[in-house]
Copies of this chain bind each other. A is one copy, B any other.
Amino acid sequence: MIQLIPIGTIHTPFKETRGMPIQPAGAKGVEGTVEVLPELADGLKDLDGFSHAILLYHFHQCFGYQLRVTPFLDKEERGVFATRAPKRPNPIGLSVVEVTGVESNIIHVKNIDILDGTPLLDIKPYVPKFDTPEFSRTGWLERTQENTPETRADERFK
């Protein structure tokens, strides 16, 4: 058993799951703030040099998990580890957001697709050399990922 502590809280305009964008690609321009515990603020030094950060967070509104899910972008059941659905054995979410500024313990971000009040677990700088493969193949998402901007969440993963 691994125990984690929330290191802060994510604030966004999304008060409920229904109708939310399903990825940052669907949340273009949406602004939010990431509030880190004041005692951890020193760890944010140098983050303002990066245009993007990877946020890891707790899907705190999801309870239990399913091994097969029907994702928002598909009509077929897929293995949960081949999807980004929140009902996972370890309910950790991941979003790459744009960093627009850092002031003491607050990070201002853009293109955020996260529920308001979500507990923050980690912040990592986005680094293309580390995080972007030179090629990629995307299975069942090959065509449907293009529908991400228009697709909205519903309550299927509550």
Residues of B within 8 A of A84 (CB): 124-125, 127, 130
Whether the pair A25, B67 counts as a contact (CB closer than 8 A) is no
Whether the pair A130, B46 counts as a contact (CB closer than 8 A) is no
Over the window 88-104 of chain A, the binary record of Cβ atoms lying under 8 Å from chain B Cβ atoms (1 yes, 0 no) is: 11101010101000000
Q: How many copies of this chain are found per oligomer?
A: 2
Number of chain A residues whose Cβ lies closer than 8 Å to a Cβ of chain B: 68
Residues of B within 8 A of A122 (CB): 81, 88-90, 92
Q: Which residues of A in the span 115-158 have a Cβ within 8 Å of any Cβ on B?
A: 119, 121-133, 135-142, 145-146, 148
Chain B: minimal CB distance from A69 (Å): 9
Whether the pair B94, A133 counts as a contact (CB closer than 8 A) is no
